[in-house]
Structure 1
Amino acid sequence: MKLYLVPIIVLLFSLTGNTQTLKKMPLTKAERKMGIYQKFQQRQQLSYVQISLILYRDSTYVYRLRDCMTTLRSAGKWQQGKGKLILESSLKKESPVPVEVRYGASGKYIDSCDIAIVEDSDAAYLPIAHLLINNDSTECFPSVGKFNGSYSSINRVKVLFENGMVSSWVPVKAGTRKVSLRVLTDVPIREYEVMDKWVYQFKGKLLERQ
């Protein structure tokens, strides 16, 4: 049941993000010295959602959305013009997430599944990540031990994440039957919000997502 709650939560966050209105907050002297240009916040007490957006003078930003269950975050570049703010994250859906196949490594295999649950760089499980095996029509869902399609051997794999990010095709040594994969980036993939030119409209001290 928990496995199905996560995508629902992500969907709810996406819906919240599409209608969010942020309020410009005053800066302290310390924040100005840190290079902060502007900061915006939103807090919805009924839904326990807190959003923070910080713009730095070097045209970078840090975004965070939190509620009582999880956190989403993003970082990248911002630009402003004609009353609008545009955010573009450093990580993009078309930028492959680096992963490695771990041979002889232990992993968490569900039932008779040949693919272990994908791990992040800290060896924490990423239960919603699933894989393509050999081609785009054979899918594996390691966290529930299920497949769509069939295969006789594992020649290559690609990891797909719930936020739309993917890895490149990773070759697998001939004769390998059990496959364990680990993400090779310190970025918290499960919490990362890909922003592909998110547009906000300035309305006085408010910032509204378009």
Structure 2
Amino acid sequence: MWWDRDMVEFEGDVYEILTADNSENSESFGGSLVVNYRPIPLMNIMLSRWSWNNRTYGNGESDLNGNSKGAYNRGMLTINIPRVVRLELTVGGRGKMEFNTGSSPGNFSADIGLQKSFLDNKLSVTIKVDDVFDTKKFIINTENVITNPISNEVYTQLMYAERRRDNRHTTITLNYNFGKQQKKRWNRRNFGGGRNGGGGGMDMDY
């Protein structure tokens, strides 16, 4: 589904209408790669990459035909020193995205967390900084050729839009465990399977 832009005339005025429309045909290709590496027992490194390439064609309107592609990379470093500290650093970056009417420049962001336990692991303090460099945002640039239905003038419409879910912020979490800690034995039921199976507990959306 794509956003379709049309210019219409009504009682001498020109209006721009933005609607959702389906392309006639679509081909989608994607791939992912995850690498988990533990150089020493106290350190874990996880690297991952997702990429996609979509092609739409067969529609009578040019703005509904074309290609879109992009990729996202993510790296996570975890250092866990028992009875001392746990450190987690996550860095994610998206390459330049291209689509039918424009593009979105690439960007990257980083999060860092530090956890320390006290009182024989009953009390833990976690400090986390989200978006360390304050760069987590989505920018889109589009370019459309518009024809005025009254004057038949042809002009180019440029758009720049920027969206941010949140700015850089810091959270501090205190967790205290009452009573004696016991190790949990995990099995299928802990993941929502139960006796009836069916994979319950997992919501999927498109």
Shorter chain as denominator, the TM-score bin is under 0.3
TM value normalised by structure 2: 0.23
**Bigger relative contact order (CA 8 A; separation at least 6):** 1
Question: If each structure's helix is expressed as a fraction of its own residues, which one has the higher value?
Answer: 1
In the superposition, the TM-score normalised over structure 1's length comes to 0.23
Structure of greater Rg: 2
Pick the structure with more strand per residue: 2
